[in-house]
Amino acid sequence: MNTATALSVLIVDDEAPARARLRDLLADATAEEANAVVAEAANGLLALAVLAEREIDLVLVDIRMPAMDGIELARHISRMARPPAVVFVTAYDSYALQAFDLNAIDYLLKPVRLARLVAALRKARRLSTPVPDLVLASLQPGERTHLSCHERGRLLLVPVVDIRYLQAGLKYVTAHTALRSYVLDESLVRLEEEFAVRFIRLHRSVLAAREAIVAFEKGGETEGETQWRAVLRDIPEALPVSRRQWPLVKAAAINARV
């Protein structure tokens, strides 16, 4: 990055007056630290759409937002090939702030002051090592709304609600939706932990969405025991259920019916 060029900035906040305030302040700060607001977004999803379109140097991110919150946005950004610098902007959230300090994550407090903003711009220009996903994951209160993957240099988002099942292969985990499958760069164990409410393990390498299981059918017999298969909505092929998982899967399916 050339120091003479203006830093391109993306503002992400769901409140219009808060975006206006940051825009005004960035305009004031440009005398000291050249910058240009190239886009604004009202939530994490819209921000990722902007980031897919154009090169951005710095993203100012509000934490509490609908559709996709700031922490999840930062997690997806951290997976990008050339991630922009991320600075969180938050009104008041003592628990998150402590964690930010602990992990040396940069943040601004609302209402933002000009001097702090200039300092953040300087820092973003000097170094932009993204915060590791593992650290961000520990800050996220709930589960993610989307998983992300790379395809031909582009970041693709997979809404978690659309995923019917997750399958671990030799090297990668694939997420299967009704339409297609995506190759993820995450471990099945971690996904199982994060989405324990949504997914249930069918066997060693498959997690199925609980609400997608519509029926069970009998497969072949191995060692005198029936091998059961789970039928998932929109998925033509039934998935085998291991003998060890069968009681759990059956109980979960019965609970879901009641």
Partner 1 sequence: MRSIKHSSAGHPVPDFRNVGIMLRTLLGVNAMAAAAALVRGAGFGDWATQFVALSAWVQPLLLLNLLVLAAAAPLLLSWPLALARAGVIGLAALSSLFLADAWRFFGLDGGDVSFMRAALFGGLAAALMLAYFALRARAFSPAIAEARLLALTARIRPHFLFNSLNAVLGLIRSEPRRAETALEELAELFRVLMRDPRELLPLADEIAFCRQYLDLEKLRLGERLRVDWDVRDVPANVAVPPLMLQPLLENAVYHGIEPLAEGGTLQLRFAREDDSLRIELINPCASAPQGSGGHHMAIANIRERLDLFYDLEARLDARQETLPEGGCQFCVRIAIPLRRRQP
Question: Applying CB under 8 A, which residues contact partner 1?
Answer: 14-21, 24, 42-43, 64, 66-67, 91-93, 109-112, 142
* Cα distance between residue 196 and residue 200, in whole Å: 7
Q: How far is the CB of 182 from partner 1 (least distance, A)?
A: 22
Taking the complex as a whole, the smallest distance from the CB of residue 193 to partner 1 amounts, in Å, to 17
Contacts of 105 (CB under 8 A, 6+ apart): 88, 99, 131, 135
Nearest to 12 by CA among 55, 53, 58, 81: 58
Min CB(106)–partner 1 separation in Å: 18
CB of 19 to partner 1, least distance (A): 7
Judged by CB, which is closer to partner 1: 92, or 220?
92
What's the CA gap between 138 and 140, in Å, rounded? 6
> With contact defined as beta carbons under 8 Å apart, do 121 and 58 qualify?
yes
By CB neighbour count within 10 A (0-12 exposed, 13-18 middle, 19+ buried), where does 32 fall? middle
CB of 15 to partner 1, least distance (A): 5
Distance from C-alpha of 211 to C-alpha of 191, rounded to nearest angstrom: 17
Question: Residue 85 or 96: which CB sits closer to partner 1?
Answer: 96
* Closest by CA position to 18, among listed 99, 109, 93, 111: 111
Cβ 238 to partner 1 shortest distance, Å: 28
What lies within 8 Å, CB to CB, of 213 at 6+ separation is 200, 230, 231, 232, 233, 249, 253, 256
Residue placing its CB nearer to partner 1 in the complex, 109 or 252: 109
Beta strands across the sheet bearing 206-209:
181-184, 173-176, 165-168, 206-209, 199-203
- Min dist CB 64 to partner 1, Å, is 7
CB closer to partner 1, 86 vs 108: 108
- SS3 category, 40: strand
Contact 188, 168 (CB under 8 A): yes
- In this complex, which beta carbon is closest to partner 1, that of residue 1 or of residue 91? 91
Q: Angle 44-53/70-78 helices, nearest 10 degrees?
A: 30
CB of 112 or CB of 173, closer to partner 1: 112
Question: Which of residues 17 and 153 has its CB atom nearest to partner 1 in the complex?
Answer: 17
